Amino acid sequence: MKIYKIQLYLFVMCILILVGCSSQPPYEMKNDNNQNAAKVIAVLAVDNKTADSKASAILRNKVIDELYFKGYAKISPEVMDKKLESLYSNEVKGSKGIVPPQVFKELVGADAVMYCTLIESKRSIGWFYTPVIIAVRCELRSTKAGEILWSAEYKSTSRNFDVIGNRLEIKSRAAFEEVMNEVVNKVMETLPDGPKLQG
């Protein structure tokens, strides 16, 4: 009887461990198989919901690079921003509204526009512990009708420990780069390859 109780206890523990390990990952993906129409993707400046202005610039550049490696044509963000600047007055440019995707068909010849949001970017350093948290959401919209072709979201956390402050700072910087790469890779991995890789 005692052996039966131990086996039952072990069985229940195994079930609890499996349930705990199979919890949902910290991301959501929506994948509408309509993206094949997109050959040229314009990446807008990141909608930054955080106080970290450097992280949003890094995010945009990494997304542009990832699109290029996935076989999409590369559009210079500087050229696109300059065209947008000349297109809109200061009043419109300063507003919080989203630039309609249809504008980019004529502006830079894009088939789709990538809107990315930096939801969270934290890198706080304590005495012995520094967490790095990054959360990103990206959405691809057609320049024809403005419909959503694809969207994905991902959040990742890295935790670093050290007893020496300088080493903790170095670890924190390295972790930020790693977490940003992970987030961008996870977000972009659901986007189908572009025309250059499709043959």
Gap between the Cα atoms of 190 and 30, Å rounded: 9
- The pTM of this model reads 0.75
**Polymer length of the chain:** 199
Gap between the Cα atoms of 189 and 27, Å rounded: 12
Nearest partner of 180 among 77, 50, 60, 76, judged by Cα: 60
Residue-wise pLDDT for 68-126, tens only, equals 999 999 899 998 888 888 776 544 444 445 778 888 988 889 999 999 999 999 876 66
Gap between the Cα atoms of 2 and 10, Å rounded: 12
Reduced DSSP (H G I as helix, E B as strand, rest coil) percent helix, strand, coil of the chain, to 5? 45, 25, 30
Residue-wise pLDDT for 31-63, tens only, equals 444 445 688 999 999 999 999 889 999 999 999
**pLDDT at residue 137 tops 70:** yes
